[in-house]
Amino acid sequence: MSSDGPTIVLLGAGHAHLGVIDDWLKQGPPEGRTILVEPRDEMQYSGMVPGWMAGEYRGKETRIALEPLVREAWIDWHRCRAVGLDPVHREVRLETGERVAFDLCSIAIGGAGRADNLVGTDPRLIDIRPIDAFMESWDSVEDTATPRRIAVIGGGAGGVELAFGARNSTSRPDVVLIAGEHGLIPGHPAIARRVVERELERQDIIVLTGEARFDDGALMVGNEALEPFDAILAAVGSGAPSWPRASGLPVDEDGFIRVGPTQQVEGFPHILAAGDVARRTDVRVRHSGVHAVYAGPVLAKNLRRLIAGRSDLATYSPFGKDFYLFNTCRGTSILSYGPLGLKARWLRQLKDWLDRRWIARFSGR
Ligand SMILES: Cc1cc2nc3c(=O)[nH]c(=O)nc-3n(C[C@H](O)[C@H](O)[C@H](O)COP(=O)(O)OP(=O)(O)OC[C@H]3O[C@@H](n4cnc5c(N)ncnc54)[C@H](O)[C@@H]3O)c2cc1C
């Protein structure tokens, strides 16, 4: 611990760490110094991206400017990426070559794109992650190509919403959604799956089941070539960034950082991790914005308690929080929660209200 008090380093300012910044704003920062490492000026809220593709939101309505928050929370900011971490000597390595020492560190850098690993490379392939790069690529597809036919790879919630977003974008392209061998929205209740299936059908989105891959420049499912496509979007789930494993942090077989119920990293109690980069070892927690957001206040509490030398740390319980509101981009939303699946206009109004309220909470400073 330095003579000026302890140093907390936050890596990433996305869905999970906004909760920590919010806590510092509300209660004042804890003693010592907080340093943020985050390359982006704005936090991109993923839940509004399909609506943005369909012209329901302007880009800036879906983002939160970080500078006013960080300034008001008395946080020092390195606008760059972390590229490594020494968990024993408590040091983060930045892409600039600098090293930042910490007493406590919290990692919420999100997931990494992995579409080209799974399906191969192609100049038309646009991975949903990182999401800001996706939005830039989608903008240029719309500006230059007026897409007529689009493939979406991935049958999970992200892929389904991307299909709705693309289908209702300016040129109203034909959309083919390629769900993997587990089919549409695996892990969601059967009734929600049926409601989603019906809506895809109603919007004339063709759904294919099977593993997509590129073969000699053509997108294939099994032995069937599906071309032509003007753009190929992929939402094939979150991959893990490579540096946590290379840094000697404990990771699961996919490279996600292993954490327990207090979000402390296994074997390194002075390091916490949450959101898409983390994997709970005691209970299944889906990689989703909802869980990342709800884990934020737990990170904040535990950072404060660890600094105070307390051992009564808070735990994050995922139970009852696995809800998802799909935007059909046609004035309705589909709720998937517990055993429920339901489509309604009022659900779209509710989603819009929740999304805008969340953005507003962090804006206008
Ligand atoms: C199109 C789409 C729609 C979605 N819709 C929903 C939805 O409706 N509901 C839902 O629950 N979930 C949704 N999700 C999932 C949700 O976006 C993620 O689960 C959530 O963003 C994870 O939050 P996080 O805090 O872990 O990471 P993020 O919010 O991704 O934040 C990570 C931050 O870390 C920064 N960063 C990355 N690497 C580094 C580094 N090396 N050093 C420092 N900083 C770094 C990034 O710039 C970023 O700001 C959606 C995802 C997509 C792609």
Closest CA to 244 of 52, 115, 85, 357: 85
361: number of Cβ within 10 Å: 11
For 15-62, the DSSP string reads: HHHHHHHHHHHHH-PPSSEEEEE-S-SEEE-GGGHHHHHTTSS-GGGG
Q: How far apart are alpha carbons 98 and 82 in whole angstroms?
A: 10
Query: Does the CB atom of residue 306 touch ligand 1 within 6 A?
Result: no
**Neighbouring residues of 128: CB distance < 8 A, sequence distance ≥ 6:** 113, 134, 154, 158, 162, 233, 234, 235
Q: Where are the domains of the chain?
A: 7-39+79-111+239-307, 115-237+323-350
Domains 7-39+79-111+239-307 and 115-237+323-350 share a fold: yes
Q: What pTM was computed for the model?
A: 0.94
Task: Give the right CATH number for 115-237+323-350 from 3.50.50.60, 3.40.50.720, 3.30.70.260, 3.30.70.1150.
Answer: 3.50.50.60
Tens of pLDDT, residue by residue over 88-127, are 999 999 999 999 999 999 999 999 999 989 999 999 999 9
At residue 2, does pLDDT exceed 60?
no
CATH architecture of 7-39+79-111+239-307: 3-Layer(bba) Sandwich (3.50)
Query: Cα(42) to centroid of ligand 1, in Å?
Result: 12
166 burial class (0-12, 13-18, 19+ CB within 10 angstroms)? Answer: buried
DSSP 335-357: EEETTEEEEEHHHHHHHHHHHHH
Q: Ligand 1: which of 21, 38, 46, 138 to mutate, judged by most atoms within 8 Å of the beta carbon?
A: 46
Dump pLDDT digits (tens) for 43-74. 999 999 999 999 999 999 999 999 999 999 99
Number of residues assigned to the chain: 365
Task: Return the pLDDT at 223.
Answer: 87
Which residues lie below 8 Å from residue 307, measured CB to CB, with a gap of 6+?
Answer: 6, 8, 30, 31, 32, 103, 104
Distance CA 192, CA 336 (A): 6
Read off the pLDDT of residues 314-362 as tens digits, 9 standing for 90 and up. Answer: 999 999 888 899 999 999 999 999 899 999 999 999 999 999 999 999 9
**Residues forming a β-bridge with 85:** 92
Q: Which of 15, 17, 80, 298 to mutate to test the pocket of ligand 1 (most atoms within 8 A of CB)?
A: 15
Contact 303, 20 (CB under 8 A): yes
Tens digits of per-residue pLDDT, 154-176? 999 999 999 999 999 999 999 99
Q: How far is the C-alpha of 37 from the C-alpha of 129, rounded, in Å?
A: 19
